[in-house]
């Protein structure tokens, strides 16, 4: 059997790192990418090939794809995982910051996807796995820009799945709930800096407390839970279009699907306190 080549972005931490470990164990050729290359030394020791890539830097994205195409005839499975949650009141967030959130969580992965597609089309085979979030379906206050990127990613992925069907390339969406990674820290401090002392200060402090409670106390799920879902999507001949998992994922998606908007508003309101 020919080894499939996988590229995972955002593998210096959290879900990406856990996924790289699972896939290398299963015998895939695994390229990993992130800005902090040294944070992938452990993955290199396991047999992964770490590459430096800022997902907002076009030159670096092109270089990564070129390198994989030179040595391994292109990417068979692309896992678009790099991302972060930029929180704070919509009113307090500069449009420049909002654009950056979209650059990282949507446009960067879109550019990378454009670059791997020609080889996939040539081979008439491939998988694009996009790490969205339950935040691609549900929402919280102070998360307008993050949720906008993930809602956009959901629609973008659905369109792409239809567009690529004729080339035997599948597109799968992963929707994690609360997962114990660096995500909580990356989100909380900048949010407090942005909105902690504004008209939204009280709400920002409450959301920070709730976030810390779910990410730092033993409440959120381990990243391996999502790595296993990704493995399912990678290995399935006919994967589902969406896989959801981790703390809060199933109940919140259920309420969002079957309840009214106002009911969901009240559930989130109660969760934040």
> Measuring CA to CA, which residue among 77, 90, 99, 212 is closest to residue 149?
99
Stretch that binds ligand NDP, among 12-20, 71-79, 120-128, 200-208 (CB under 6 A): 12-20
- Minimum distance from residue 199 beta carbon to ligand NDP (Å): 27
- Minimum distance from residue 147 beta carbon to ligand NDP (Å): 11
Q: Three-state SS for 244?
A: strand
Q: Kindly report the backbone phi and psi dihedral angles of residue 107, in degrees, each rounded to the nearest multiple of 5, phi listed first.
A: -65, -35
Q: How many residues touch ligand NDP (CB under 6 A)?
A: 31
Query: CA 253 → CA 16, 140, 155, 213, distances in Å?
Result: 23, 13, 16, 21
Q: Residues 139, 146, 200, 243: which is the catalytic one?
A: 146
DSSP assignments along 53-121, one per residue: --TT-HHHHHHHHHHHHHHHSS-SEEEE-------S-GGGS-HHHHHHHHIIIIIHHHHHHHHHHHHHH
- 211-250 positions binding ligand NDP, by CB under 6 A: none
Confirm or reject binding of residue 38 to ligand NDP (CB under 6 A).
no
Confirm or reject binding of residue 81 to ligand NDP (CB under 6 A).
yes
Confirm or reject binding of residue 54 to ligand NDP (CB under 6 A).
yes
Place of tokens 């990674």: 181
The residues with which 264 forms a beta bridge, in sequence order, are: none
Site string for ligand NDP, 85-104 (x = CB under 6 A): -------------------x
- 178-217 positions binding ligand NDP, by CB under 6 A: 178-179, 181-183, 186
Q: Which is nearer to ligand NDP, 122 or 185 (CB)?
A: 185
C-beta separation of 208 from 188 below 8 A? yes
Q: What are the tokens at 269?
A: 């309101």
Of 5, 7, 12, 113, which one interacts with ligand NDP (CB under 6 A)? 12
> Measuring CA to CA, which residue among 5, 13, 4, 22 is closest to residue 229?
22
Q: Which is nearer to ligand NDP, 74 or 223 (CB)?
A: 223
Of 34, 61, 164, 172, which one interacts with ligand NDP (CB under 6 A)? 34
The residues with which 174 forms a beta bridge, in sequence order, are: 131, 243
- Minimum distance from residue 68 beta carbon to ligand NDP (Å): 16
| Total residue count of the chain as it appears in this document | 273
C-beta separation of 131 from 18 below 8 A? no
State yes or no: is 100 an active-site residue: no
- 103-142 positions binding ligand NDP, by CB under 6 A: 104, 131, 133, 135
Q: Which is nearer to ligand NDP, 25 or 216 (CB)?
A: 216
Catalytic residues: 146
Site residues, ligand NDP (CB under 6 A): 9-16, 34-36, 39, 53-56, 81-84, 104, 131, 133, 135, 176, 178-179, 181-183, 186
């Amino acid at each position: 059997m020919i080894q499939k080549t996988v590229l995972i972005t955002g593998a210096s931490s959290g879900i990406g790192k856990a996924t790289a470990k699972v896939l290398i164990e299963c015998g895939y050729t695994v390229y990993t990418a992130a800005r902090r290359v040294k944070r992938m030394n452990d993955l290199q020791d396991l047999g992964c090939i770490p590459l430096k890539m800022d997902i907002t830097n076009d030159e670096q994205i092109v270089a990564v794809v070129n390198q994989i195409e030179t040595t391994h005839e292109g990417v068979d499975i692309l896992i678009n995982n790099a991302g972060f949650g930029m929180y704070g009141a919509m009113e307090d967030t500069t449009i420049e910051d909002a654009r950056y959130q979209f650059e990282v969580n949507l446009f960067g992965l879109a550019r990378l996807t454009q670059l791997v597609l020609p080889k996939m089309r040539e081979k008439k085979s491939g998988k694009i796995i996009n790490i969205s979030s339950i935040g691609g379906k549900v929402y919280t206050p102070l998360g307008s820009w993050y949720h906008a990127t993930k809602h956009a990613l959901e629609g973008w992925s659905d369109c792409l799945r239809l567009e690529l069907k004729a080339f035997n390339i599948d597109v799968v969406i992963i929707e994690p709930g609360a997962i114990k990674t660096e995500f909580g820290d990356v989100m909380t401090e900048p949010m407090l800096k942005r909105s902690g002392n504004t008209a939204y200060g009280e709400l920002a402090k409450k959301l920070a407390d709730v976030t810390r409670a779910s990410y730092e106390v033993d409440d959120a799920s381990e990243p391996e839970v999502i790595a296993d879902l990704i493995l399912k999507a990678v290995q399935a001949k006919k994967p589902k279009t969406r896989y959801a998992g981790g703390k809060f994922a199933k109940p919140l998606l259920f309420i969002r699907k079957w309840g009214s908007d106002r009911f969901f508003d009240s559930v989130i309101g109660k969760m934040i306190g």
